[in-house]
């Protein structure tokens, strides 16, 4: 079965990211604004290099972070699938744009019984779905579900800083709450045209798709909002241009400042409504979550977070359903 009921329904099957990244030869400063100063400097100093070659010790730590996450997921009975590694041909085809195989949340996502390949805005992420296709073939094709892809984005002029009209739609911007789907839009990733496509696609299944405008320094909606369980969320209120969505107004809020949002304070991962994963760097958030009766698991995810993503970004559920 493939189905995602909500962000906190019991996680039973999930895809966990690999740890591969190739720095673009010509990084676009306007697209790095969501990163820390240290990460921006890395992009500028290591143009065209593979991260594993530039930082072999950190590469090992990065891989251990994902292995630690897998161990915790499996401890709770979650079936974990891993994408394959990038091929030499795929890395070569990326050219000067760089390549990535590091945050599986974004190149595809699951809403209810629908598995949807996204449409990535950043050039180095345009082919990130390819290493997941083997999993699609083995798990999605045989399942009683829908499998579709967002239209490929339009080709933009070389001097177009927006990278064109898209459509852009990335899984980090897509949060599921029953028949309600929130789609973030900051100008860095998903855009209104992508959300419009999703609204039209899901209309026959009676989903309500709402666009959520975000501060331009926020990459994805899950970098500003995490739904922990029914009625409880961790949120950076300052990141919402038009305020908190009406459907969440009455929820209890663990509010964090913008500084913590940009270091992924909201990007924990509920295994269920009773268990939540976060980084020890955010133990003060974890303590507030635990005060609501939720068990908190801590995993050091420092290297993953340096790339602008954390636990939710590193995973993509195939089955999340209340038991």
Catalytic positions are: 220, 313
Do 104 and 111 form a contact (C-beta atoms < 8 A)?
no
List the structure tokens of 295. Answer: 């068990």
- Do the Cβ atoms of 111 and 133 come closer than 8 Å? no
Provide CB contacts within 8 A for 94, sequence distance 6+. 22, 124, 127
β-bridge pairing 232-235 and 225-229: antiparallel
User: Read out DSSP for 155-184?
Assistant: PPPTT-TT--S---B-GGGEEEETTEEEEE
Cα angle 296, 298, 303 (rounded to 5 degrees) comes to 145
3-state DSSP assignment of residue 270: strand
Q: How many CA atoms lie within 13 A of 143 on its CB side?
A: 17
Instruction: Give the containing element (helix H, strand E) for 318.
Output: strand 315-320
Query: What does each C-alpha distance from 174 to 4, 12, 30, 111 come to in angstroms?
Result: 12, 19, 23, 9
Report how far residue 135's alpha carbon sits from residue 145's, in angstroms, rounded to the nearest whole number: 14
Closest by CA to 11, choosing from 70, 73, 103, is: 73
> How many alpha carbons lie under 13 Å from residue 3 in its C-beta half-sphere?
10
Report the alpha-carbon distance of residue 46 to residue 41 in Å, rounded.
Answer: 9
Q: How many other CB atoms are there within 10 angstroms of residue 103's CB atom?
A: 28
Q: How far apart are CA 260 and CA 33, in angstroms?
A: 15
């Amino acid at each position: 079965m493939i189905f995602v009921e909500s962000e906190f329904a019991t996680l039973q099957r999930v895809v966990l990211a690999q740890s591969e990244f190739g720095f673009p030869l010509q990084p676009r400063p306007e697209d790095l604004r969501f990163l820390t100063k240290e990460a921006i400097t890395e992009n500028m100093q290591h143009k065209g290099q593979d991260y594993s070659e530039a930082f072999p010790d950190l590469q090992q730590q990065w891989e251990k972070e994902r292995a630690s996450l897998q161990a915790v997921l499996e401890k709770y009975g979650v079936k974990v699938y891993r994408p394959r590694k990038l091929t030499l041909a795929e890395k070569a085809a990326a050219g000067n744009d760089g390549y990535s195989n590091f945050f599986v949340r974004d190149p595809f996502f699951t809403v209810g019984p629908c598995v949807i390949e996204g449409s990535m805005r950043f050039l180095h992420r345009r082919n990130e779905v390819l290493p997941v296709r083997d999993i699609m073939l083995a798990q999605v094709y045989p399942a009683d579900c829908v499998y579709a892809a967002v239209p490929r984005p339009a080709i933009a002029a070389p001097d177009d800083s927006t990278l064109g009209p898209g459509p852009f739609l990335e899984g980090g911007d897509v949060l599921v709450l029953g028949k309600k789907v929130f789609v973030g839009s900051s100008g860095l990733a998903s855009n209104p045209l992508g959300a419009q496509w999703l609204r039209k696609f899901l209309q026959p299944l009676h989903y309500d798709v709402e666009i959520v405008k975000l501060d331009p320094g926020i990459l994805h909606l899950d970098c500003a909002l995490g739904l922990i369980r029914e009625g409880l969320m961790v949120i950076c209120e300052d990141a919402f241009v038009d305020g908190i969505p009406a459907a969440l107004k009455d929820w209890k809020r663990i509010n964090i400042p913008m500084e913590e949002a940009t270091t992924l304070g909201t990007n924990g991962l509920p295994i269920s409504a009773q268990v939540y994963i976060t980084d020890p760097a955010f133990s003060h958030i974890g303590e507030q979550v635990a005060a609501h009766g939720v068990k908190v698991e801590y995993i050091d995810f420092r290297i993953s977070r340096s790339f602008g993503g954390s636990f939710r970004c590193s995973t993509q559920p195939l089955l999340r359903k209340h038991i």
